[in-house]
Structure 1
């Protein structure tokens, strides 16, 4: 997810990063009231964009017309197409369409990020063949990655290549060709199901769901079953020589002790930080949703009732285990833990990366107004969460990945996506607009008191999520953008 290098860029640096000549692309009419200020587009020039979709371009125009604030409209125009503009590589692999999506400033593809980065364009895919080609290619690439190693989180463009990530060069694990990093995170496989299911629902296209996809999904289920660890620790272990404790896994690479209670073990969180207790609650909740989506697809696309039933059985088992072991109680009120070990030990915190406790309704695990979720949400967005930070610039959730005081814009977007409260939404939009440090893009994290101190100037997932939020508000709460 990150090379852990903090970066502070001025506006000129950002323009150089996003493409020479970008400053000339002014957005007509985006001038502050009573002032001469305009907001030049920070997109690469059309000839330098990696991928172009007519439907996406039309959506930008549609949504910007609904935004009353010129700066917010400008930010949307920069962020929403950023994944397509800068991170998509189209080709063929094994005779099939291939789409490789890098994270931005890291030249590798995370299963999680690549899925999340293109998620906002799904509503447009039915009317744009170029987008359908992109999604077919990404689904095929995910299948190829899972076939290489279902335990890996990140992959290389060349399925035969050796990792180019400096921090992963000497990891003690079963590193295979094509793998960029091999951190076992439940959510990596869940995201591949989520994007496949979302694409199928949006388009009805059956083309990507061939025998190779079916084989990969069987491997996903087998991996989840193995990591319930009912019959021993399973085949995965991971260690890294690092000064950063969250980059490695204790006890010979198998993780801290946990009881096999039906939940799936995860060695790492979606931040790529090691779990303290291996029964990571948000990812198990995500798995419940994903397994049921996979069952639905297997029945509808392949008539595979037996496999669908296996998926549903695991989903039910995980959900029951969550209810039994992952619920905390204080002063008579129950809420979700973040990690547990099955022995009765429970950790409460939240991290900005998705899946998180804050994101449970976004992922489809519960409704926004679910009582237990509301209690969990209130604790996550407050002093009960050690990674909640409040400063002069903003307040929000971060995580150990970038350390204390660092608010992740993704948490602000997720808070707005999981509420209908007008005050919360307006406050999140205000913070997002006032903490981009003049760049017009979202970042990984920024200092709670000084947004000019930020990490990752080119982080496409955050840009996509911001675009998704603005589109969501334009349709769900248009009054918030006027």
Structure 2
């Protein structure tokens, strides 16, 4: 928030905090803090960020978000005149300029954050139905539809063939380029079962096997410790947060 770095998972985290209602049935909290209006703003934001880099004629589209600063590391700024690597429109996936680690994405169709957002949005549709607001039924329907469409887009675009297995890509651009890795943060590919994905699903299991192996470029191995890390850590160096989503 302080740096104004746009991450899909930051929006999903707000929805996740909204599960407060499931434990308390306290509608006063939502009325007082304009929750319905906030969810509408989130919906508008993510729909804006499904736009691609080009229109059907190849013209560069005006982008709803850009980000830049002077930095001595590529992970701390956004390339291509602050817009990032080109993204194909029409996939149904939401672009994210940054990862939960605050590193900039290589490819902006960041699958773990789309998993998290789809899951949290779907659950919050039920909360929306309980709001004393004339727009609530229509919004709840829109939330469910968007949640389902993102989930379908992950299946359509986010799964890649790797040798004999199908696995989830970490990031992709919609044109065929993908980033096969994981950053053991949350959300991550390893943490997908936290967001409604079946831990026994063959695609998840194949992804997990790859990520917990030397085939993952960010899998640190050593005589005392072996586990996934991420780009924020120097090669071969563990980060303090890393074990939680791999267990």
Structure number with higher helix proportion: 1
Q: Corresponding residue for 1:235?
A: 64
Q: Corresponding residue for 1:310?
A: 142
In structure 2, which of residues 181, 184, 189 is the aligned counterpart of residue 357 of structure 1?
Answer: 189
Deviation of 1:330 (Å)? 2.0
SS at match of 1:223: helix
Q: Corresponding residue for 1:224?
A: 46
The yes-or-no answer on 1:377 pairing with 2:212 is no
The yes-or-no answer on 1:247 pairing with 2:76 is yes
The yes-or-no answer on 1:195 pairing with 2:26 is no
Q: Corresponding residue for 1:339?
A: 171
Contact preservation (8 Å) 2:233, 2:239: no
Q: Corresponding residue for 1:181?
A: 3
Q: Corresponding residue for 2:58?
A: none
Structure index of larger Rg: 1
What is the rounded CA distance, in whole Å, between the counterparts of 1:307 and 1:275 in structure 2? 30
Deviation of 1:405 (Å)? 1.2
Deviation of 1:206 (Å)? 1.8
| Uncovered stretches (5+) of structure 1, i.e. residues with no partner | 1-153, 155-179, 417-482
The yes-or-no answer on 1:319 pairing with 2:151 is yes
Q: Corresponding residue for 1:270?
A: 100
Offset from partner CA, 1:307-330 (integer Å, 9 cap, x none): 011111211221121111110112
Contact preservation (8 Å) 2:6, 2:96: yes
SS at match of 2:142: helix
Contact preservation (8 Å) 1:227, 1:233: no
Aligned residues: 236
What is the rounded CA distance, in whole Å, between the counterparts of 1:266 and 1:202 in structure 2? 30
Q: Corresponding residue for 1:212?
A: 34
TM-score, normalising length: structure 2: 0.90
In structure 2, which of residues 130, 136, 141 is the aligned counterpart of residue 300 of structure 1?
Answer: 130
Deviation of 1:209 (Å)? 0.7
Q: 1:387 to 1:212 in 2, by over 3 A?
A: same
Q: Corresponding residue for 2:217?
A: 386
Q: 1:377 to 1:263 in 2, by over 3 A?
A: same
Compare 217-226 and 322-331 and name the one that shifted more. 322-331
Deviation of 1:347 (Å)? 1.2
| Uncovered stretches (5+) of structure 2, i.e. residues with no partner | 56-60
Q: 1:234 to 1:296 in 2, by over 3 A?
A: farther
Q: Corresponding residue for 1:129?
A: none
Contact preservation (8 Å) 1:270, 1:354: yes
Deviation of 1:233 (Å)? 4.7
Q: 1:298 to 1:403 in 2, by over 3 A?
A: same
SS at match of 1:297: helix
Deviation of 1:409 (Å)? 4.2
**Equivalent residues in 2 for 1:64-103 (5 A)?**
none
Offset from partner CA, 1:151-204 (integer Å, 9 cap, x none): xxx2xxxxxxxxxxxxxxxxxxxxxxxxx211110000101111111x111222
Contact preservation (8 Å) 1:396, 1:408: no
Contact preservation (8 Å) 1:233, 1:254: no
What is the rounded CA distance, in whole Å, between the counterparts of 1:294 and 1:224 in structure 2? 15
Structure number with higher strand proportion: 1
Deviation of 1:368 (Å)? 2.0
Contact preservation (8 Å) 1:266, 1:278: yes
Deviation of 1:292 (Å)? 0.3
